[in-house]
């Protein structure tokens, strides 16, 4: 029997990663570091040397929010923040190609998915505003207020305190790393899921795993991120953090799994294995608190009405 579908909406938020008009922390240089001589439009130069125009690639302030169908049952939710990879847009790739809302519904978990648009259809991992201290917390606060209205909550505070799982595919790794490092939500992170995403930030991921013994780490990797993931394994070893190369039967708090896959990189977020790996890992993760707040536990009629709309 297939599960009921949740509800997906797209918000335009001032706390979204873009537009961004600041400085790149790694270089100290302005994000827009060049100008198109023909049009006068500002350009951003990526680490690989490609230049992208501001209007087409860095002005989208949309954030996809999906409230899982299983929230209707009444358990307290977990916020899953998903960072897409390169050459992606929300509707075509996060909803369409990767089926992330469908994976959330299939997990059977009470989840609110938050997927911000990063650089639009570009080979660029820039986190935008997520480079700034506390930026991820501000984004989650804005989503909590919006979801609180939909769920009929007079106070969004329970959602502001909800546990968080950070997930990324491919080039989304840098935004995830910034969320861990300076996002202002470190004390709420219940786990991270990396889908062929260890292209860098190895020391950040390993240091977080060592400092968060009650939060899980699950990484699936193809040959594209084999070098980065093996470097992460070595860093975990240096920190004295045990890990397993086996896919988890149950993803308990404190579990660390770095799992090799033969799947080609573009297909991994859908085909895993197993198929729909984000949803499967969430299903296996014992991360939901028994009760976050009574205000969320006693509103099944509100959740049911939400999913009829």
Same domain membership, residue 151 and residue 28: no
Same domain membership, residue 164 and residue 31: no
Model pLDDT, residue 150: 77
Model pLDDT, residue 70: 63
Same domain membership, residue 88 and residue 39: no
Same domain membership, residue 159 and residue 42: no
- Residue 1 inside a domain? The answer is no
What is the average pLDDT value for the chain, to the nearest integer? 90
- Residue 135 inside a domain? The answer is yes
Same domain membership, residue 27 and residue 174: no
Model pLDDT, residue 4: 64
Same domain membership, residue 116 and residue 47: no
- What's this model's pTM, rounded to 2 decimal places? 0.92
- Residue 224 inside a domain? The answer is yes
Same domain membership, residue 107 and residue 39: no
Model pLDDT, residue 147: 87
Same domain membership, residue 293 and residue 171: yes
Model pLDDT, residue 214: 92
Model pLDDT, residue 153: 75
Model pLDDT, residue 69: 75
Helix axes 226-238, 202-211, angle to 10 degrees: 40
Model pLDDT, residue 154: 76
Same domain membership, residue 64 and residue 45: no
Same domain membership, residue 266 and residue 123: yes
The enclosing domain of 146 has a CATH number of 3.40.50.1820
**Residue 294 sits in which domain range?**
7-13+58-308
- Residue 99 inside a domain? The answer is yes
- The pLDDT tens digits of the residues spanning 160-170 come to 889 999 999 99
Same domain membership, residue 48 and residue 68: no
∠ Cα 258 201 101 (to 5°): 65
Model pLDDT, residue 158: 84
- Residue 110 inside a domain? The answer is yes
Same domain membership, residue 39 and residue 138: no
- Residue 2 inside a domain? The answer is no
- Residue 268 inside a domain? The answer is yes
* Total structural domains within the chain: 2
- Residue 108 inside a domain? The answer is yes
Tokens of residue 26, six digits = 């790694």
285 Rama class: left (phi>0) / alpha (psi -120 to 50) / beta? beta
Total residue length of the chain: 309
Model pLDDT, residue 258: 98
Kindly give the parts of the chain with pLDDT less than 50.
1-2, 288-309
């Amino acid at each position: 029997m297939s599960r009921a579908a949740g509800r997906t909406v797209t918000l335009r938020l001032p706390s979204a990663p873009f537009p961004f008009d600041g400085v790149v922390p790694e270089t100290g240089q302005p994000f827009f570091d060049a100008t198109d001589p023909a049009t006068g439009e500002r350009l951003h130069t990526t680490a690989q040397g490609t230049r992208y125009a501001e209007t087409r690639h860095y002005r989208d302030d949309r954030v996809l929010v999906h409230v899982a169908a299983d929230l209707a049952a009444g358990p307290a939710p977990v916020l899953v923040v998903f960072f897409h990879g390169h050459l992606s847009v929300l509707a075509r790739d996060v909803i369409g190609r990767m089926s992330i809302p469908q994976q959330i519904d299939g997990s059977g978990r009470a989840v609110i998915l938050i997927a911000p648009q990063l650089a639009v259809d570009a080979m660029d991992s820039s986190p935008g505003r997520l480079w700034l201290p506390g930026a991820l917390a501000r984004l989650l606060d804005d989503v909590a207020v919006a979801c609180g209205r939909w769920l009929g909550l007079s106070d969004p505070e329970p959602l502001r305190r909800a546990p968080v799982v950070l997930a990324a595919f491919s080039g989304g790794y840098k935004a995830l790393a910034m969320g861990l490092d300076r996002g202002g939500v470190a004390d709420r992170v219940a786990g991270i899921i990396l889908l062929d995403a260890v292209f860098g930030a190895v020391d950040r991921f390993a240091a977080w795993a060592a400092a968060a013994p009650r939060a899980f780490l699950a990484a699936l990797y193809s040959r594209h991120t084999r070098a980065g993931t093996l470097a992460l394994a070595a860093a975990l070893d240096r920190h004295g953090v045990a890990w397993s190369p086996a896919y988890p039967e149950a993803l308990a708090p404190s579990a660390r799994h770095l799992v090799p896959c033969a799947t080609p990189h573009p297909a991994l977020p859908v085909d895993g294995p197993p198929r729909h790996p984000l949803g499967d890992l969430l299903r296996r993760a014992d991360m939901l608190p028994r009760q976050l707040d009574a205000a969320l536990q006693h509103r099944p009629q509100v959740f049911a009405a939400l999913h009829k709309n």
